[in-house]
């Protein structure tokens, strides 16, 4: 086995070659920018970038680093686009969300590249995002507030366990809006270090949602200590670093590949039809005639018939409510916030009539967004 000094020398040599190749690529990117300027072409060519990623991933010999390779390629192409923007003189590369370089957005997510949040981000934005990861949900909201990112991607609801309370609370705290959504099928697995067995496990790390979604399996092992962690992917990273057979985590198969962990038990979530809905959050409501879904938060007086009056607003205006979920207000016992999704567009008169009706019945009202429902 090579010692650390020898390994670092090998890395230094590889880095030397990478710098030469990177510099060469940037020079070619400048030439591409000159051509695009001459022929009045846009900087971003999504189809071309998707072809580049697909072609290079097919050449990959070690498929266990597929996620990292895709992330690397996306970042290199983002840097190339920024450079081309400078050459062309496109000021849009230096401004916020509406002025991002030819629709290349800085998008924040919580976790690491093997997380479900990252998967949702990549599938929603395709090749038009530069992904930036953060430690907590609130870090993403704060980055949006400070304009470090243009959008954020956060889990908002699970088909098995309901709404993600922490994220809903942050919407009320920061006042941002939902501008889109993406659902990802979630399959949880019990992961451990190489050589670990179920009998070795004493502690299991993961996000609380993963614990809840895997409760039937976990109940069979009452001796295990369940320790909440930032998210499923970060818990896999932690277990890999600890290299302790008594510690395990609940995470995805991608995380197992990324962190070289064994899958001790596959698909431990009790619902095989387990999906998490991710909200794309932004600073403003994005008006569009194709937007067909509205999300709101309301609180109502704690007295007989008030919820019924809210529901009448939908019936009277012939609107289909998709979801209603309650959460304690914390300020006063037995009073609740209601999180409501329904079909509608803000430009429609029946939608505006319904919203005015709801506001009249509410102690608190917040518009979360009007966006396009995922097919």
Spot the catalytic one: 278, 314, 337, 342: 278
Among residues 38, 47, 32, the alpha carbon closest in space to that of 82 is found at 32
> Do residues 186 and 269 make contact, with C-beta atoms less than 8 angstroms apart?
yes
For 256-276, letters b (16+ CB in 10 Å) and e give: bbbbebeebbeebbbeeebeb
CA dist 116 and 74 (Å) reads: 17
Question: In the structure encoding, which two tokens stand for residue 128, read together?
Answer: 């038009």
CA dist 58 and 282 (Å) reads: 34
Question: In the structure encoding, which two tokens stand for residue 64, read together?
Answer: 């266990």
SS3 324: strand
Angle of CA points 300, 302, 303, to nearest 5°: 110
Is 276 an annotated catalytic residue? yes
Spot the catalytic one: 276, 314, 342, 351: 276
Is 351 an annotated catalytic residue? no
| Radius of gyration (C-alpha) of the chain in whole angstroms | 24
What does DSSP say about strands 203-206 and 225-228: parallel, antiparallel, or unpaired? parallel
CA dist 51 and 73 (Å) reads: 11
DSSP per position, 64-103: GGHHHHHHHHHHHHHHHHHHHHHHHT-GGGGS-GGGSGGG
CA dist 203 and 252 (Å) reads: 18
CA dist 253 and 268 (Å) reads: 12
φ and ψ of 196, to 5 deg:
-75, 150
Give me the active site residues, please. Answer: 276, 278
């Amino acid at each position: 086995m090579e010692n650390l000094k020898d390994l670092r020398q090998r890395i230094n040599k590889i880095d030397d070659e990478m710098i030469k190749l990177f510099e060469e690529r940037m020079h070619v990117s400048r030439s591409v920018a000159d051509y695009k300027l001459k022929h009045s072409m846009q900087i971003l060519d999504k189809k071309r970038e998707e072809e580049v990623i697909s072609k290079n991933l097919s050449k990959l010999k070690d498929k266990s680093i597929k996620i990292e390779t895709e992330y690397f390629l996306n970042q290199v192409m983002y840097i190339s686009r920024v450079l081309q923007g400078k050459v062309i003189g496109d000021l849009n590369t230096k401004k916020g969300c509406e002025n991002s370089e030819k629709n290349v957005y800085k998008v924040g997510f919580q976790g690491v590249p093997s997380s479900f949040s990252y998967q949702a981000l990549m599938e929603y934005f395709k090749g038009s995002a530069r992904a930036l990861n953060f430690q907590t949900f609130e870090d993403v909201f704060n980055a949006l507030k400070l304009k470090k990112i243009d959008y954020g991607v956060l889990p908002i609801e699970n088909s098995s366990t309901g709404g993600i309370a922490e994220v809903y609370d942050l919407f009320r705290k920061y006042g941002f809006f939902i501008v889109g959504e993406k659902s990802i099928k979630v399959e949880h697995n019990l992961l451990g270090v190489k050589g670990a067995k179920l009998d070795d496990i004493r502690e299991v790390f993961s996000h609380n949602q993963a614990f809840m979604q895997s409760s039937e399996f976990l109940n069979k092992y009452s001796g295990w200590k369940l320790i909440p962690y930032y998210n499923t992917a970060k818990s896999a990273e932690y277990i890999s670093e600890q290299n302790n057979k008594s510690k395990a985590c609940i995470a995805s198969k991608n995380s197992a590949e990324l962190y070289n962990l064994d899958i001790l038990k596959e698909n431990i979530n009790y619902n095989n039809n387990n999906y998490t809905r991710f909200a794309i959050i932004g600073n403003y409501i994005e008006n569009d005639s194709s937007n067909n879904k509205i999300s709101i938060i309301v609180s109502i007086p704690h007295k007989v018939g008030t919820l019924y009056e809210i529901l009448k607003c939908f019936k009277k205006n012939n609107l289909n409510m998709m979801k209603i979920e309650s959460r304690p207000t914390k300020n006063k016992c037995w009073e609740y916030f209601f999180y409501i999704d329904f079909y509608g567009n803000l430009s429609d008169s029946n939608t505006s009539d319904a919203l005015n009706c709801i506001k009249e019945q509410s102690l608190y009202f917040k518009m979360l967004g009007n966006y396009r429902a995922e097919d």
